[in-house]
Amino acid sequence: MNPKHIIFTLLLMLCPIGMAAQSTITRNKPKPAVTKPKPATKPKAKPKPAPRRNSTSHSSSTVSLSTELNKLINNMVYVSGGTFTMGGTSEQGSDADDSETPTHSVTLSSYYICKYEVTQALWRAVMGSNPSYFKGDNLPVESVSWNDCQTFINRLNSYTGRNFRLPTEAEWEFAARGGNYSRHYKYSGSNYISDVAWYGDDSGNNRTHPVGTKQANELGLYDMSGNVWEWCSDWYGSYSSYSQNDPTGPNSGSERVMRGGGRRNGAWNCRSSRRFSNSPGISDCSFGLRLVLSQL
């Protein structure tokens, strides 16, 4: 047998073994893993954007203004018209000075006056700024001149459509005395000044205090004595002995009337009949105001 035949015979003999081996390999070949498709998950909802907060100063100031104006209107106290003796009456004793004489009869029409001095919160809401030396929303605004008060009142009236104004000197004194309910106290609401006033001997660190924290007078008005001096509308002038109806003071002058005394003044300056005056352009950290309306 030639060599080619021998090789061919050997190949034939090996074929079954190779086929068997191939079959074994095929049978034992691991099946490919079948990956089950995962169930589709719901897409996560995108978080809703937070509502935009209107952080503009205009919006916040508008809310503040509305709140303060509502408080102001609610705090206006009706003062029924009547007749009283203005000036250094008997309860003032020897404390009455020449500027408070002669005493004289005054008849007033009815009006409304705020139970509190104008606060810093109200001033800032109207004016957008706060000139006060002592800071606090519920403290009386101070460091304001008579002229500043007129600017404030004009702007306040443009917002409200009302006719707020400073009280006349006569209106101020009548209200401080308790109007038609007067018990003829020396100070506004009491003969004991510490009951009703923040003043020089009782003002604690010589500063202003939140409005309405002392005792009210007969009309429910606070701080008519002490805390800050309050501007009146009148020019300052000497009294006359003649009876008067709704007086508004002299037609001209150099100084405007102030009433009530302030946080650094003694008791003498906080009496209901005490008069004071200053140039309308002067401001001080003891000068403030209170508002009046002829009609609500």
pLDDT of residue 206: 86
User: Which residues lie closer than 8 Å to 1 by C-beta, 6 or more apart?
Assistant: 9
SS3 161: coil
Specify the amino acid at residue 277.
Answer: S
Given pLDDT bands bounded at 50, 70 and 90, which one contains residue 61? low
Strands (E), 81-150: 82-86, 104-108, 111-114
Q: Which range has the worst mean pLDDT, 93-107, 168-182, 200-214?
A: 200-214
Query: Cβ neighbours of residue 148 under 8 Å, at least 6 residues apart?
Result: 131, 283
Q: What is the mean pLDDT of residues 123-146?
A: 97
Terminal CA-CA length for the chain: 140
pLDDT at 201: 76
| Mean pLDDT along residues 6-30 | 41
d(CA 11, CA 7): 6
SS3 of 176-199: HCCHHHCCCCCECCECCHHHHCCC
Question: Phi and psi for 124 in degrees, rounded to 5?
Answer: -65, -35
pLDDT, average across residues 236-260:
98
Provide the residue type at 163 as one letter: N
- Relative to beta strand 287-288, strand 229-235 is parallel
pTM for this predicted structure? 0.80
Share of residues in the chain with pLDDT > 90 (%): 76
Q: What is the mean pLDDT of the chain?
A: 85
Q: CA–CA separation, 80 vs 111, rounded Å?
A: 7
Which H or E run contains 12? Answer: helix 3-28
Res 275: pLDDT: 98
Q: What is the pLDDT of residue 45?
A: 40
User: What DSSP state is assigned to residue 270?
Assistant: G
